[in-house]
Amino acid sequence: MTRGAALALPAMLADLEDLVLCESFSADHAAVARSAEVVGALGARLLGAGPEVFVIDGVTHLRWSFGTPRVLLVGHHDTVWSMGSLRNHPWSVVDGIARGPGVLDMKAGLVQMFHALSSLPSPDGVCVLVNGDEEVGSPTSRQLIEESARGCAAALVMEASADEEGALKIARKGTSRYEVVVHGRAAHAGLEPQKGVNAVIEVAHQVLAVADLAGSMGTTGATCPVLGAPTITPTLLAAGTTLNTVPALAKVLVDVRVPTLAAQDRIDKCMRGLVARLPGARLEVLGGRRRPPMEPEASAELFALASRIAAELGQEPLRGLGVGGASDGNYTAGAGCPTLDGLGAVGGGAHADTEYVEIAQMVPRTRLLARLIDHATS
């Protein structure tokens, strides 16, 4: 495409079809590598340069840098859809709706990002990072994301909009993950249960203790007007070996979502302060903080700028929402880079059978992004 060319929906849809037809399930590193080749070729064609390729623990990530970066564009090319999903969820464009595995989360966002950059006179001052493991928490790309964000004046995240009306994501809860392991003592459940220490009973105490933590978080620094209160949710539970054995081991996984760093720190201290209730039982608390929260302050100036640009373009007034899910925007904000998320496609049903993109919004959304990049790099 010629630099500075007008945006064309047919070309964008053709590129989106290419990306969707190359399945890229996060757990299949070979598939992710094939997807990286397709994404890299698209970027090379539209940006006039090939990417740096990083293969970290088998996962393929891509990065383009032009001049001294002031703006970081962040996306991912992996999806939650297992290989072969195209058979039951084929690529289609019907009645203004595009469907297919990962079409919303977030292959349409990648197409919009590359076309936005191609529509500008120059990509100078921009860094583009497309990782291959966002859907599993970006374990191999986190350092690359944070390194790329440091020193930039803005990070623009190409995740899908916050709702089907196109709201941007101005805040995200941070995440922590814990595994509470209970060590008891086995005994015959019929002959001498009194000689055992029942890990199931102990883990039941711990599940209730963990559930009670959320109610103690309503103090200053633990909640946020945009994101609300923390959530602390026991999820997966496992215990025991046989019906007639006092269980010696039990474990429960705990999902934590936090609106502020203060809440994340407090909950971590509380989780590590859990104590066993039964004599002879012993606890281990594994895991901890994962993604830091993207607090509203990180996006305030960028959202105000995007709102002004939308008005200049004659688009509907932008809305901003806080969301409980995390993204790589948590990492860029945690690295101290102002961050605005949800700039990708407009649609709904991410990760579900109903996943779709509203194609009438692709060009307007791309124009908004292009103007935002232009302002942020000048």
HSE-CB of 164 using CA atoms within 13 angstroms: 8
Catalytic residue among 15, 23, 133, 134: 134
Q: Is 78 a catalytic residue?
A: yes
CB 126 within 8 A of CB 69: yes
Question: Which residues does residue 250 pair with via DSSP β-bridges, in sequence order?
Answer: 182, 239
Among candidate residues 17, 23, 78, 105, the one labeled active-site is 78
| Tokens 């039982």 belong to residue | 281
Question: How far is residue 241's CA from residue 232's CA, in Å, rounded to a whole number?
Answer: 28
The verdict on whether 124 is a catalytic residue reads: no
What's phi and psi for 346, nearest 5 deg?
A: -105, 130
Pairing, β 59-65 against β 52-56: antiparallel
Main-chain phi, psi angles of 372, to 5 degrees: -65, -40
Q: Count the neighbouring beta carbons within 10 Å of the beta carbon of residue 216.
A: 13
Active site (catalytic) residues: 78, 134
